[in-house]
Amino acid sequence: MTEDKVFNVLFLCTGNSARSIMAEAILNREGIGRFNAYSAGSTPRGEVHPETIKLLRRSNLPVEHLRSKKWEEFIGEDAPKLDFVFTVCDNAAHEVCPVWPGQPLTANWGVPDPALAAGTPSEVALAFADTYRMLNNRISIFTALPLQALDKLSLQKRLDEIGKSGLIEMT
């Protein structure tokens, strides 16, 4: 992998209303100039969860371009060539995914779905904040990887480790 390449990353989830949207926004900030992040769902809800929008705005992330969409948008001829595809929920990880053109590296980075949180508004907001924190940590580790120095097998191992524990050594 070349040092000056801009990598295209797709985050997948079932509903594409919270987790994958958060991951897209985080990576587009953290990986600016190195990564283009996208998100999609197998069965998108059709709208971004209002609590996701609130959280991203509080984190000073742009929300205007975010929308809930189907993953089919990323398999056509006009779709960006994907380098990485990460599922951020367990449902999408077990679904039959499309064959991604170019055979991008894939990994499951499943995190709890805050859209399912119940309770007081504070408890719901906390569930969203916890998911955001987990995704932010994983994406920070990912963006720090020496992508150009790792062969495909080593990189796949690192991606899988990020999804399992969230922590890997950077050596």
Contacts of residue 49, defined as CB under 8 A and 6 or more positions apart, other chains included, come to 17, 18, 21, 114, 115
| Residues belonging to the active site | 13, 89, 97
Contact 124, 118 (CB under 8 A): yes
| DSSP assignments along 82-116, one per residue | PSEEEE-SHHHHHS-----TT--EEEE-----GGG
Helices (H), the chain: 19-30, 50-58, 90-94, 121-144, 152-165
Which letter does DSSP use for residue 156 in this model? H
Residue 76 Cα distances to 60, 121, 147, angstroms = 32, 40, 26
* Tokens 């996208």, residue located: 38
